[in-house]
Amino acid sequence: MRTVYASPNYMPALQPASYYYAASPVTSATSTTVGVGTLRVGPVLLHHPAHLVRLVADIATAGEAGSKFRMGIYDDTGSGYPGTLIASGVVAADVSNSVPEVEIDASLEAGVYWFGGAVQNVVTTQPTMRVVANWTPPLLGYAGSTRPSSGSAFPGILTAGVTAELPATFPGGSGASGSLARLMFRTA
């Protein structure tokens, strides 16, 4: 079921052949603790249909040789929670000051989507990712089935144990994520 939220008429359509941040804080922060095998996704509200052709990671400092960042886009379940995987790809995460991109082919209707990724293939040194931690998403913040601690933030949702392909359906019972790797996308 497509979750469609009221779109004001003044919201412009995305420009063709252009890059956009899925979410971005006012200032750029970095983190080496996004967690190996922890898939973190955050909601993005598209006001108009869009055809996306690339997903882009933002790596500040290289991880160990062979490290990867697997990213993707999930549909919304209709309940403000990620559902079915729409598109995914993987990039090398062992290059500093890099914005590696992967080709995708995703025609999206107006509505809510969940963008995110997971660091993989790391034994000792994770890449330092640019992250979103102080962003307010366009949805109510899912906090999980237990009460969060004081001062908790909600830029998205996380699930652990993602060491290969992204799951075809986002696992239920996952918890709130305090930060997300900052992603970009490119329109056709």
Number of domains in the chain: 1
122 falls within a domain: yes
Q: What pLDDT, in 10s, does the model give residues 20-53?
A: 999 877 677 888 778 999 999 999 999 899 999 9
12 falls within a domain: no
Domain with 62 in it = 19-140+153-187
6 falls within a domain: no
172 falls within a domain: yes
Amino acid at 98: S
Asked if 100 and 57 touch (Cβ cutoff 8 Å), the reply is: yes
114 falls within a domain: yes
Confidence grade of residue 10 (pLDDT, cut at 50, 70, 90): low
5 falls within a domain: no
Q: Is pLDDT above 80 for 97?
A: yes
113 falls within a domain: yes
9 falls within a domain: no
Q: What is the CATH number of the domain that holds 171?
A: 2.60.120
For residues 173 and 144, give the distance between their C-alpha atoms in angstroms, rounded to a whole number: 7
